[in-house]
Amino acid sequence: MDDKLTIGIPKGSLQEKTLALFAGTGLSFYGLDRSLWLGSNDSEVQAVLLKPQEIPLYVQKGNLDCGLSGLDWIEETVGKDAVRVMADLCYSKRSFRPVRWVLAVAESSPWKTVEDLKHITPPVRISTELRNITENWLAERGIRAEVDLSYGATEAKPPLFADGIVDCTETGASLRANRLRILDTVFQSTTQFIANRDICKKNGWKRTKLDSIALLLKSCLIANSNVSMRIQTLGSEAEIVEALIPSDARFSVWNGQHDDVLFEIIMDQGKARKLVPVFARNGAIRISVSPIDMLYG
């Protein structure tokens, strides 16, 4: 569609968070309950819900102008160099951290390290949805393996159907619930906003649109994962409070009308939760924490 920018939205675990992120930029998508093609409040944008495994291929071919998919599926299907990465967006279903693909075996397995797998005869049986990356990773470490493609319920495969699995996890809770033990991390992935390389080079208005959307997505994501903390303290306690501010936080300082100092700090929301009582014990008179709508810079 030359008159519209077509975007692939990942259907499944990332869908809700991705649509919410776009809504934060002011770009909202809507459709019927069972409709996979979505309308938007921007007449120049058309979106379609697709499996994240398919989006990189369609972006590479030019069927989609752009889309969002995990780095895992990009490398698994077409390779990162086959598309233009417009933004690296560190979010997953439950957090603002990368997800990991890990090699895991049953708790009862005799294998304690990856090295143990080198001595198995016949080849170790591995089940995974990430077949190409897993085969390359095992081969690089000298492990003879038979890697079978899993179509889901991968945690159920050991020990009857496979000796081990390579599966995606955020917290490891599902692996522990299925009595599996992690041996190593195979791949770490974040969500990527990608575009077709030729469209970026040859279509001026679409490239401008892509750059704008990428900037807004990054700004909203930073805002979503951070909070604004305002701390009021006495001037005599200001140095103590400032020393407690994390090194990766950004902050400004103002002197009040009386003998007080006001700090405004932008920091990770997880760190903020932990630091509120710490600041309260070390001179803070008043603390307020607020969400951020958008943050650029």
* pLDDT tens, residue order, the chain (297 aa): 678 999 999 999 899 999 999 999 999 999 867 889 999 999 999 999 999 999 999 999 999 999 999 999 999 999 999 999 999 998 887 778 899 999 999 999 999 999 999 888 889 999 999 999 999 999 999 999 999 999 999 999 999 999 999 999 988 889 999 999 999 999 999 999 999 999 999 999 999 999 999 999 999 998 888 999 999 999 999 999 999 999 999 999 999 777 899 999 999 988 999 999 999 999 999 999 998 877 666
Q: Going edge to edge, which strands form the sheet with 37-40?
A: 29-30, 37-40, 45-50, 5-10, 66-70, 191-195, 84-89
Closest C-alpha among 273, 257, 265 to residue 292: 265
Residue 75 is assigned to a structural domain of this protein: yes
- Supply the DSSP symbol for 111: -
Contact of 106 with 181, CB cutoff 8 Å: yes
Please indicate, yes or no, whether residues 162 and 85 belong to a single structural domain of this protein: no
The token pair at 20 is: 């919410």
Where among 138, 167, 202 does a domain terminate? Answer: 202
Neighbouring CB atoms inside 10 A of 149's CB total 11
Please indicate, yes or no, whether residues 112 and 31 belong to a single structural domain of this protein: no
- Supply the DSSP symbol for 281: H
Please indicate, yes or no, whether residues 154 and 234 belong to a single structural domain of this protein: no
Q: Which domain holds residue 166?
A: 99-188
Instruction: Give phi and psi for 11, each to the nearest 5.
Output: -85, 135
Residue 159 is assigned to a structural domain of this protein: yes
Please indicate, yes or no, whether residues 57 and 197 belong to a single structural domain of this protein: yes
Residue 218 is assigned to a structural domain of this protein: no
Please indicate, yes or no, whether residues 74 and 147 belong to a single structural domain of this protein: no
